[in-house]
Amino acid sequence: MSDRDTDVPDSSGPEMQDHLRIPFISRRRALQLAALGLGAIGAPTLLAACGASTAATTSGGGSSAGKKGGDLVIVRDRDSVAMDKTTVFSNGSLWVYQQMYECLLAMTDDGQGVKPWLAESYEMAADKMSCTFKLKAGVKFSNGQPMTSADVKFSIDESSKTKGGWEFINTAIKEVTTPDDLTVVVKTKYPWAPLLADLSCPNNGIIPKDYGGKTAKDFYAAPVATGPFMWDTWEKGNFIRLKKNPTYWQPGKPSLDTVTWKVVSDENARAIQLQGGQAHINEAPPFSSLEQLKATPDVKVELFPSTRTDYIMMNQTKTPFQDVHVRRAISYAINREAMVKNVLFGNGTPANSFLMPTVPFYDKNTPGIQYDMDKARAELKQSSVPNGFTTTWLGLSGDSVDSAISQIMQASLKDLGITLKIQNVDGSAQHDMTGKLQYEIAHSYWTMDLADPDELVQYALDPDSGGHSFQTGMKNAELIGLSRQAAREFDKTKRQALYTQIQQKAAETAFLGFLFYTPFPYATRSSVKGFQVLPTGYYHMENVSLSS
Amino acid sequence: MKYPVYVAKRLVSLIPVLFGISLIVFFLIRLIPGDPAATLLGSHATVQSVAELRSQLGLDLPVWQQYLTFLGHLLHGSLGFSFVYNSPVTDLIATSLPVTLWVLASAAFFTLLVAVPLAVWAAARRNGVADNIIRAVPVIGLGLPSFWLGIMLILLFGLKLHWFPVAGFGTTIPAHLWSMVLPGVTVALTLAPILIRSLRASMVEVLGSEYIVTASAKGISRTRVVLGHGLRNAASSSITVLGVNLAYLTGSTLVVERVFSLPGIGQQMINSILGRDFPTVQGITLVFAIMVVIVNLLTDLAHAALDPRVKLA
């Protein structure tokens, strides 16, 4: 916009008359505008003071006396996808529907095994080919109907039959029979050690037989199950809310009236909502913000031991990563201490194995390949590219952890004569390209869904499970054989020995660069009691209460 | 030309625009690497499950066939089904669009509230102290990033003073109004400088013209001359400036929506792109196109209403 003052000299054309250069807009006009302005700001304030408020207040109705009731709000950066337990993989959906669907067995709080849940006892047959479960009596679905073995059979078979989802967890199951209303027998095709852990996986959650008469689609739009919370509303993209199940089988639980998971994409906005009391729990605040959060009054930061492990993947179908010396050289160049300090801000521990401490049969004595630049150089000298080479890191745009790791690696590898170029793409593209083995080197991570290492071991070592050996293209016959053998071994000592062997050999072949183990960070208001996150990321909302 | 005929003509010209945009966005989103089924299922998914889902979503058909299906839906008034939520895209947009419209309305309101009095005052006291301040200070608003400004306002007015909600949209009309203040002010502080300068410049030009002299010679009060004659004439060009900026803003409310946690259509667009939810991306793009055309149409109509000399053609 041209400024007419400088373009047009004052003397040309009719000048603004003196008396029109109002020294002040008339008092009446000024007062009118001021009233309008104040009204615009004041009126909504007054109206809203008598109107409804937005999300929850810090203490809900009836909780002023202490522990009962309350509406809990969790803020997170993504929404759920669907409530279908057979096909949905996203944690954003799982951690919500796990408050509704319960299994025969539940994972123990330390993640090392399972405990009876909807089944009050179980007995493995001597030939290890079947397991008999006795169901708890008096368990009801949230619609008042009693749970029976027919519902259990339906629920497990449903997941086994539904293609395109979690059916791979149930591949060892041959059939499920129901001798009486409170007894279920699960038969397997071969002795299968992970069976109990598999039955605690959310895809085997118990729902009413034949979807209670509805179609699958209608059922999953408003599910009915035995869990502490039942279906309430879902405003897609905004929030999902579950409400208390009045017929829940655990006496005195749950304490909360409702739990709402709100979608707030901006991490600063999440922190502000927690501070302001509009949210009670902030899921996964960035590590860089933890110190500041710890210093905030009424907010506590909790770091729950998790199964999350980060890795560097190297694509063995691309030269020179098929050469074990190259992979070992790169692994020796990983400065884990620096990463834990600068990327995780101290919130993590260096990894020595592709399994993590929170999963059964982890071997803490596997030395792994630890940071040693001299050994890195020695390995590279023995490789097919002793003078170094150039490669491209496929990074995840917008992910500060990925970005920091790639830059630390770029600096370390330069020392070896390896030039690391960084290419960033968005999440979906990176997932696509790594899945099709169209990358050279990239970062990835894993979290377990059940208390048995087999889920990860299969994915990481056995190409037949569909993951291309954790997208590295590795086909190591010895490791494949050992992993299959370990899954069928029931004796805990022998099974541990096999997994120890697997971890040591996997570390030696450096098929993945093991980075670090990190906890699940959560920031909660101090009024939240009893919130505990299990190593798979799951939490039991029935144990949570809000004090005022 | 009569208003209804003009409006009808403009709306009809919308059709080839929409057709062209639908074609472009349909093919463009499919060029980006990243498969909707794989994105949806996550990193633990097996190859078979991804293939199954692709087939269910119709992604294994040839692209031209997918486009024809999309056009077919469009002719029946449907924008297809979201890959992510499995609900009709029109339902998703119906919940998010109103939020964005509230933001735009609030932005327009506060922009006018700030810009008009300041511009008139500056023009009336041209070259005075007030004028110089009014011209210089708002430029800071132009340079401020809106996400920073938004967070600052939330920290002060939301967290410290508790005058306004820290986030969200509310569930009742009064709550909506209350929650729209800070987002509206945030946008207004970045839009107002542009409007102030343009309005002030037109006001200065208008206040120097002959009919103003005539009006004051007729004995009309100073206020009525400046506001009734001066402002009304000067406003017409500034309405265009405001309209163009609001139309531009239509697609950029994302930042404000993110900062204030408003479940609007900008948020929904970015989430659908990242989630490769093709039908939602296509649907929202078409809605954006319609909104831009309508905002431009309203601007032209307002312009014509304010200035009888303007002929709609």
3-state SS, one letter per residue, for A478-526 = HHHHHHHHHHCCCCHHHHHHHHHHHHHHHHHHCCEEEEEECCEEEEEEC
Tell me how far the alpha carbon of residue B260 is from its chain's centroid: 16
Please state, in angstroms and rounded to a whole number, the distance separating the CA atoms of residues A323 and A329: 10
The first and second tokens of residue A380, run together, are: 């590279």
Answer yes or no: is pLDDT of A325 > 90. Answer: yes
Q: In what order do the strands lie in the sheet with A281-283?
A: A229-235, A239-244, A258-263, A71-76, A281-283, A520-525, A299-304
The first and second tokens of residue B116, run together, are: 């008009």
Please tell me which residue of chain A has the smallest CA distance to B203: A4
Within B57-172, residue ranges assigned H as helices are: 63-75, 89-124, 129-136, 138-143, 146-153
- Residues A304/A520, Cβ–Cβ less than 8 Å: yes
pLDDT score at B135? 83
pLDDT score at A37? 59
pLDDT score at A41? 56
Please state, in angstroms and rounded to a whole number, the distance separating the CA atoms of residues B160 and A275: 11
Residues of B in contact with A51 (CB under 8 A): 172-175, 178
Per-residue pLDDT band at A257 (split at 50, 70, 90): very high
Please check whether residue A14 touches B, CB under 8 A.
yes
- Residues A520/A537, Cβ–Cβ less than 8 Å: yes
Mean pLDDT, residues A29-43:
61
Q: Which long-range contacts (CB under 8 A, 24 or more apart) does B152-155 make?
A: B153/B182, B153/B185, B153/B186, B154/A269, B154/A272, B154/B182, B154/B259, B154/B260, B155/A272
The first and second tokens of residue A422, run together, are: 């960084």
pLDDT score at A246? 92
Best residue of A85, A162, A263, A431 to probe chain B, by most B CBs closer than 10 Å: A431
Contact A165 B49 (CB under 8 A): yes
Please state, in angstroms and rounded to a whole number, the distance separating the CA atoms of residues A196 and A135: 15
Helices B146-153, B173-207: inter-axial angle, 10-degree rounding: 120
Answer yes or no: is pLDDT of B145 > 50. Answer: yes
Per-residue pLDDT band at A20 (split at 50, 70, 90): low
Per-residue pLDDT band at A8 (split at 50, 70, 90): very low
Give the minimum alpha-carbon distance from A264 to chain B in angstroms, rounded to a whole number: 6
- Residues B192/B138, Cβ–Cβ less than 8 Å: yes
- The CA dihedral of A19, A20, A24, A28, to the nearest 10 degrees, is 100
pLDDT score at A517? 94
Please state, in angstroms and rounded to a whole number, the distance separating the CA atoms of residues A108 and A114: 5
Please state, in angstroms and rounded to a whole number, the distance separating the CA atoms of residues A304 and A521: 7
Per-residue pLDDT band at A59 (split at 50, 70, 90): very low
Residues of A in contact with B168 (CB under 8 A): 54-55, 278
Asked whether the ipTM of the predicted complex exceeds the cut of 0.85, the reply is: no
- Residues A472/A311, Cβ–Cβ less than 8 Å: no
Q: Each residue of B23-78: pLDDT tens digit?
A: 898 888 888 877 888 777 776 667 777 788 888 888 888 888 888 888 888 888 88
Within B173-311, residue ranges assigned H as helices are: 173-207, 210-217, 222-223, 232-250, 254-260, 265-274, 278-306
Dmax (CA) for chain A in angstroms is 109
Mean pLDDT, residues A232-255:
92
The residue assigned the tokens 């945009």 is B21
Please state, in angstroms and rounded to a whole number, the distance separating the CA atoms of residues B190 and B141: 5
Q: Each residue of A71-119: pLDDT tens digit?
A: 999 999 888 888 989 888 788 899 999 999 999 999 999 888 999 999 9
Best residue of B30, B39, B44 to probe chain A, by most A CBs closer than 10 Å: B44
Q: Each residue of A200-235: pLDDT tens digit?
A: 999 999 999 999 999 998 999 999 999 999 999 998
* Neighbouring C-beta atoms of residue A24, cutoff 10 Å: 11
On the CB side of A546, CA atoms within 13 Å amount to 26
pLDDT score at A173? 93
Residues of A in contact with B276 (CB under 8 A): 428
Please check whether residue A34 touches B, CB under 8 A.
no
Please state, in angstroms and rounded to a whole number, the distance separating the CA atoms of residues A431 and B38: 7
Please check whether residue B283 touches A, CB under 8 A.
no
- Residues B92/A236, Cβ–Cβ less than 8 Å: yes
pLDDT score at A408? 92
Answer yes or no: is pLDDT of A421 > 70. Answer: yes
Between B285 and B125, whose confidence is greater? B285
pLDDT score at A16? 53
- Residues B54/B34, Cβ–Cβ less than 8 Å: no
Please state, in angstroms and rounded to a whole number, the distance separating the CA atoms of residues B139 and B144: 9
- Residues A259/A99, Cβ–Cβ less than 8 Å: yes
Beta bridge pairs of residue A234: A240
Please tell me which residue of chain A has the smallest CA distance to B162: A276
Tell me how far the alpha carbon of residue B210 is from its chain's centroid: 38
Cβ-Cβ pairs closer than 8 A, A with B, add up to 232
Contacts of A246 (CB under 8 A, 6+ apart): A142
Between A348 and B250, whose confidence is greater? A348
Please state, in angstroms and rounded to a whole number, the distance separating the CA atoms of residues B122 and A401: 50
Contact A444 B171 (CB under 8 A): no
Cα–Cα distance list, B256 to A108, B108, B188, B252 (Å): 43, 14, 11, 8
Mean pLDDT, residues B254-267:
87
Beta bridge pairs of residue A130: A187
Helix (H) / strand (E) containing A75: strand A71-76
Cα–Cα distance list, A317 to A218, A436, A461, A519 (Å): 45, 11, 15, 33
The first and second tokens of residue A97, run together, are: 């529907």
Please check whether residue B158 touches A, CB under 8 A.
yes
Best residue of A160, A201, A432 to probe chain B, by most B CBs closer than 10 Å: A432
On the CB side of B134, CA atoms within 13 Å amount to 26
Answer yes or no: is pLDDT of A45 > 80. Answer: no
DSSP-assigned letters across all residues of A254-321: ---SEEEEEE---HHHHHHHHHTTS-SEEES--GGGHHHHHTSTTEEEEEE----EEEEEE-TTSTTT
Between B49 and B190, whose confidence is greater? B190
Tell me how far the alpha carbon of residue A260 is from its chain's centroid: 17
Contacts of B139 (CB under 8 A, 6+ apart): B193
Residue type for position B143: G
pLDDT score at B86? 77
DSSP-assigned letters across all residues of B17-42: HHHHHHHHHHHHHHHSS--HHHHHH-
Q: What percent of chain A has pLDDT over 90?
A: 60
Answer yes or no: is pLDDT of A11 > 60. Answer: no
Beta bridge pairs of residue B171: none
Question: Looking at residue A171, what DSSP letter applies?
Answer: T
Residues of A in contact with B86 (CB under 8 A): 82
* Domains of chain B with bracketed CATH: 47-78 (no CATH), 96-262 (1.10.3720.10)
Structural Rg of chain A based on CA atoms:
29
User: Which A positions 164-223 lie with beta carbon below 8 A of chain B?
Assistant: 164-165, 168
CA angle B291/B293/B295 to nearest 5° reads 65
Which of A52, A90, A272 is facing B159, going by the closest CB pair?
Answer: A272
pLDDT score at A13? 42
Please state, in angstroms and rounded to a whole number, the distance separating the CA atoms of residues A509 and A171: 29
Nearest to A521, CA basis, from A305, A266, A296: A305
Helix (H) / strand (E) containing A240: strand A239-244
Please state, in angstroms and rounded to a whole number, the distance separating the CA atoms of residues B115 and B245: 14
Contacts of B2 (CB under 8 A, 6+ apart): none
